[in-house]
Copies of this chain bind each other. A is one copy, B any other.
Amino acid sequence: MATALFRSRGYHGTPVRALASNLKMEAGSLYYHFPSKQQLLFDGFEQTMDELLAGLRDAVERESTAPRRLCAAVRFHVRYHTEHQSEAFVSHTEIRALTGRNRAAILEKRDEYEAMFRALIDAGVATGEFDVPDTGLTNIAILTMCSGVADWFSPKGRLDGAAVADRYAELVLRMVRYSGAAGRARGTRAR
């Protein structure tokens, strides 16, 4: 997969010839399948963002109360970052490698994602279930914390993706000071 190479060497640090040889091909042959290296990056970005948006929407829809919805969102987000680690990592670090309108298109989707997340917090604040001094800051703190999972997670590690997701959900509940946090994290597991 191209994403694995982009992850370990970066977009600009990965020659087209490396991408090709990874697929047991010659460099020129790649251009039968893709019009440019940039498009290859962009396609990966778009797929990742679409999966994130659809997955988040889906995870949230299954729950009704604010704490459960936020929990489900966090668990989905973390699990996606463990199961599609390379894609998620690249989507965070290589945005700057996207050119003009490609970058704009992705940033738009990222903003949409962040807004969906923020709405989950706002909802809990509105009902009084959450107590956060600064919704915007708390939201971005939660998101960067959860996205950071793609930085350090290892499938060979002590905890698997589901376990990390559960523990992160509890951490988030603490951050928004949901009083029923202690026993809830595991209880509201989606699947």
A residues engaging B (CB < 8 A)?
Answer: 8-13, 93, 96-97, 133-134, 136-138, 140-142, 144-145, 147-149, 151-152, 158-159, 164, 167-168, 170-171, 174-175, 177
Q: Is the CB of A13 within 8 A of B97?
A: yes
Chain B's nearest CB lies how many Å from the CB of A157?
Answer: 10
In the assembly, what is the distance between CA of A96 and CA of B45, in Å?
20
* CB neighbours of A97 from chain B (8 A): 10, 13
Chain B's nearest CB lies how many Å from the CB of A83?
Answer: 18
**Pairs A-B, 3 closest by C-beta atoms:** A144-B148, A145-B145, A12-B12
Instruction: State how many copies of this chain the complex holds.
Output: 2
Q: Provided the pairs A8-B96, A175-B174 are in contact, do residues A141 and B145 lie with their beta carbons within 8 angstroms?
A: yes
* CB neighbours of A12 from chain B (8 A): 9-10, 12-13
